[in-house]
């Protein structure tokens, strides 16, 4: 359900509000088309879908970059902002920010990017399956060239460095000079902690492995049940399957996807609780600002903080695993591997694996650090797409000790670059840092949260997140959300403390 402003708005701002509602509706159309591309579209539809995205992106851009919006912004900022309620004043500020970014890009470039990203993603699916980087190189080269052009134009308009201008589109306010020191600090202490944990695991009795196969039909039922336990309302959501799990759609029509394997139920179940965290955030954004800049998420790092609060902080905690153990036994049959203590050992195993989405909490940030360094080099022109496999393998070996055996487990494994999402990857680890800080504050302020998780009740946690994170929409940036919830800006200490408490025992 979409709600408009409760009271009449001043004329210039009111016109802006109406125009952005129309822009937002078109962006929602694009979101549903994107879901369809990943879930139901047949391969032969790729070319037509590229043209559809190009036309829709161009039409949306035409509305958003209309010179009349600039005139209305000038009037509203000069004559009306002082009379606006705080949430509408924040919305006006964000309208200006978005307008600056939109007018920086010509319609031709917006359409070309939409067309090229669709083509590249389609080619990537086959290239990854065949571990064939050569097959994707022409499409990736075109997409990187267009992205560099967009980055340069956005940099000129915003005064930011090109990569920062791209990253600002995913997480407003985050800059390389803020992220690089955080990642350097992680790289200083994580390898030693990983090595200590691996040594401790080698001395200990290994966890029991659950005995499969695990029927896909049972996994589907269990995935839906866990999503409902976390808080997903399936009157306003769907759960489907795709090659790469994601949560998308709109606040009133959330689309969650996972992928299933008969030999590994954990992959789908952990994915569904992760994506359910995203879905709750999307669903609980401020309804009175629906389809407005301020009614959107505060950025992808904040989005990731919500998915990781659910998956890593809550669902891998001792309390929830104690509740989950008999649920798994009921679904798949009695198995000593479903003992709660064994699940704790099993789902906290640390391994130096090749695949980011399968990585544990300790090694995951190193995967992100590698991608951050490579994509900054790609956008700066210091690395060309043709050199990506070699640079990836060298960087991975430096961080993990050995290069991947093939490109499918190397530079082809993630979808992001092949859809043009350069600047996204830092959000994953920033979100993990934020999740630890938020969860620490939540559980200290409300003891009912931990007690609820131990009986499979997420309502106290969702209520806290809804009040302290979701309700702000984009009115606060990442630091603002964290400061409002915890009294401090984003800091790495709670994340380090969390990792030491969970993995530091010897």
Which residues belong to the active site? Answer: 275
Contact 70, 118 (CB under 8 A): no
Check whether the bond before 213 is cis (ω within 30° of 0).
Answer: yes
3-state secondary structure (DSSP) of residue 422? coil
Q: Output the CA–CA distances (angstroms, integers) from residue 85 to 14, 75, 181, 356, 472, in the order listed.
A: 13, 17, 37, 43, 14
The first and second tokens of residue 473, run together, are 């929409």
**Rounded to the nearest 5°, which phi and psi values hold at 152?**
-65, -40
Contact 331, 42 (CB under 8 A): no
241 forms bridges with which residues in the sheet? 258
**Rounded to the nearest 5°, which phi and psi values hold at 239?**
-125, 115
Nearest to 25 by CA among 414, 207, 295, 243: 295
Q: Measure the CA–CA gap between 153 and 326, rounded to whole angstroms.
A: 55
Antiparallel, parallel or unpaired: β 237-241 and 253-258: parallel
Q: From the CB of residue 493, how many other CB atoms can be counted at a distance below 10 Å? A: 12
Q: From the CB of residue 444, how many other CB atoms can be counted at a distance below 10 Å? A: 11
Q: Which residue shows structure tokens 């082809």?
A: 412
């Amino acid at each position: 359900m979409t709600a408009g402003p409760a009271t009449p708005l001043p004329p210039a701002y009111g016109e802006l509000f109406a125009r952005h509602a129309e822009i937002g509706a078109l962006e929602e159309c694009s979101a549903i088309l994107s879901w369809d591309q990943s879930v139901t579209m047949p391969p032969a539809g790729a070319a037509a879908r590229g043209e559809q995205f190009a036309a829709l992106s161009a039409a949306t851009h035409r509305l958003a970059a209309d010179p009349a919006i600039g005139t209305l912004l000038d009037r509203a900022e000069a004559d009306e902002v002082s009379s606006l309620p705080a949430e509408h004043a924040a919305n006006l500020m964000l309208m200006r920010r978005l307008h600056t970014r939109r007018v920086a890009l010509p319609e031709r470039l917006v359409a070309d990017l939409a067309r090229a990203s669709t083509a590249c993603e389609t080619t990537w699916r086959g290239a990854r399956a065949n571990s064939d980087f050569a097959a994707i190189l022409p499409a990736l080269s075109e997409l990187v060239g267009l992205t560099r052009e967009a980055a340069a134009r956005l940099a000129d308009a915003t005064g930011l460095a090109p990569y920062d201008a791209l990253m600002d589109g995913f997480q407003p306010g985050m800059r390389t000079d803020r992220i690089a020191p955080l990642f350097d600090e992680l790289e200083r202490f994580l390898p030693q902690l990983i090595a200590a944990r691996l040594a401790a695991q080698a001395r200990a009795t290994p966890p029991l492995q659950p005995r499969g196969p695990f029927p896909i039909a049972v996994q589907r039922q269990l995935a839906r049940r866990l999503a409902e336990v976390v808080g997903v309302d399936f009157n306003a959501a769907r759960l489907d399957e795709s090659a790469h799990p994601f949560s998308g759609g709109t606040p009133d029509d959330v689309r969650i996807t996972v992928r299933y394997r008969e030999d590994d139920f954990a992959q789908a179940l952990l994915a569904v609780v992760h994506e359910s965290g995203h879905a709750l955030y999307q669903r609980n954004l401020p309804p009175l600002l629906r389809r407005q800049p301020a009614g959107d998420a505060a950025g992808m790092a904040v989005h990731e903080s919500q998915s990781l609060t659910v998956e890593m902080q809550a669902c891998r905690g001792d309390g929830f695993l104690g509740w989950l153990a008999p649920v798994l036994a009921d679904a798949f049959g009695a198995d000593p591997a479903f003992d709660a203590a064994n699940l704790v050992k099993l789902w906290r195993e640390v391994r130096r694996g090749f695949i980011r989405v399968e990585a544990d909490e300790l090694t995951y940030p190193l995967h992100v650090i590698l991608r951050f360094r490579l994509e900054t080099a790609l956008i700066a022109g210091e690395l060309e797409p043709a050199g990506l496999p070699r640079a990836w393998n060298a960087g991975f070996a430096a961080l993990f000790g050995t290069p991947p055996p093939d490109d499918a487990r190397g530079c082809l494994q993630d979808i992001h670059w092949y859809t043009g999402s350069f600047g996204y990857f830092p959000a994953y680890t920033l979100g993990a840092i934020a999740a630890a800080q938020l969860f620490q504050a939540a559980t200290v302020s409300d003891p009912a949260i931990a007690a609820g998780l131990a009986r499979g009740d997420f309502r106290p946690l969702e209520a806290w997140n809804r009040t302290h994170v979701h309700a702000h929409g984009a009115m606060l940036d990442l630091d603002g959300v964290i400061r409002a919830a915890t009294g401090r800006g984003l800091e790495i200490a709670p994340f380090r403390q969390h990792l030491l408490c969970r993995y530091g025992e010897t």
